[in-house]
Amino acid sequence: MSWLKRTRKGLKDTSKTSRKEIPDGLWLKCPTCSEILFRQELDKNLWVCASCKFHHRVDAHRYMDFLLDEGSFEETHRGLVSKDPLNFQVGKDKYAEKTKLAQAKTDLEDAVVTGLGTVGGHPVSLAVMDFRFMGGSMGSVVGEKIARAIRDAIDKRRSLIIVSQSGGARMQESILSLMQMAKTSAMLGRLREAGLPYISILTHPTTGGVTASFAMLGDLIVAEPKALIGFAGPRVIQQTINAELPPGFQTSEFLLEHGMVDAVVNRKNLRNFLATSLRFFTGGRAQADSLDSSGEGFRPGAAAQGQGGSAGESPSLFRARAAVAGGGSSDDSA
Ligand SMILES: [Zn+2]
């Protein structure tokens, strides 16, 4: 037995110590140009491929870092998890177990993160989807959190930003997930009645029920370069209409050309673009300024209700003006 089991102590275990450690996932292959990319370098470049400019998917919290003023983020509506009311199961695949696995893998409760923050000093209510969580699919939790983020925007008189990244409605929740399309759209109707702007950001990929509801209802619809945006996939459409699809079909650039999106903006320019747009929507002033007259906005030393004191005050307002004065460029080149 001693051949198989090490009985004597003090011998060096070569199987563990002498093997060279190769950190997991140091490099990755770009899915569009096949270039091998150094992960750290890619991170520095906001996850945009240096060779083909493909905008890689990033998780929700990382994406918020791209958009929001530093330290302004405050997460909202935690603690919502799916209940699996249909006891959904395909073969051995139980929905409840799949959800738990996704939660463990992503450290998220569901496929969207919501919160409050500022962009160039403009207070916003924000929802960012996360594709890692079951393909960013929209179930009842995603729908509810997005609806609540919209309600926050209305209650706190803030602009709304939603970053979409989704394979569509979550089939494991059947009709309950489809109902989220109506719910979020209805809430956006209330936002519109309240006269508050909504900027929708479409990232790769934005498809299905998400495209068919809140993603395409923005006052301003911005897409990242080369993102796949559509309702049904190209293969399904091709088979249905039995015709050749034009080149570049369902990409951001194609949709821009055909009037479905308003701008295609590089990730590195996105924050400036948003700050400039929010400035436009809120009448040339940072929104907080315009709210002062109604007594709801934040002022240095006058904490606004529900803002938790985290919204940047004069420094971030100053930054907003500086960004705008510095020509908050909207260089769309891919
Ligand atoms: Zn590439």
Q: Tell me, in angstroms, the distance from the centre of ligand 1 to residue 102's CA.
A: 27
Q: CB–CB of 247/224 below 8 Å?
A: no
Residue 202, classed as helix, strand or coil, is strand
Q: Tell me, in angstroms, the distance from the centre of ligand 1 to residue 59's CA.
A: 19
Q: Tell me, in angstroms, the distance from the centre of ligand 1 to residue 55's CA.
A: 8
Q: What is the pLDDT of residue 64?
A: 95
**Domain definitions of the chain by residue range:** 26-56, 59-325
Q: Tell me, in angstroms, the distance from the centre of ligand 1 to residue 205's CA.
A: 16
Q: Tell me, in angstroms, the distance from the centre of ligand 1 to residue 49's CA.
A: 5
Q: Tell me, in angstroms, the distance from the centre of ligand 1 to residue 37's CA.
A: 8
Which residue from 332, 282, 325 is spatially nearest to 124, judged by alpha carbons?
Answer: 282
Q: Tell me, in angstroms, the distance from the centre of ligand 1 to residue 285's CA.
A: 39
Domain 59-325 superfamily per CATH:
2-enoyl-CoA Hydratase; Chain A, domain 1 (3.90.226.10)
List the pLDDT tens digit at each of the 334 positions of the chain. Answer: 556 666 666 665 555 444 444 456 789 999 889 999 999 999 999 999 999 999 999 999 999 999 999 999 999 999 999 988 889 988 888 999 999 999 999 999 999 999 999 999 999 999 999 999 999 999 999 999 999 999 999 999 999 999 999 999 999 999 999 999 999 999 999 999 999 999 999 999 999 999 999 999 999 999 999 999 999 988 889 999 999 999 999 999 999 999 999 999 999 999 999 999 999 999 865 544 444 334 333 333 333 333 333 333 333 333 333 333 333 333 433 3
Q: Tell me, in angstroms, the distance from the centre of ligand 1 to residue 52's CA.
A: 4
Q: Tell me, in angstroms, the distance from the centre of ligand 1 to residue 226's CA.
A: 11
Q: Tell me, in angstroms, the distance from the centre of ligand 1 to residue 152's CA.
A: 38
Strand partners, 166: 206
Distance (Å, rounded) from C-alpha 288 to C-alpha 272? 18
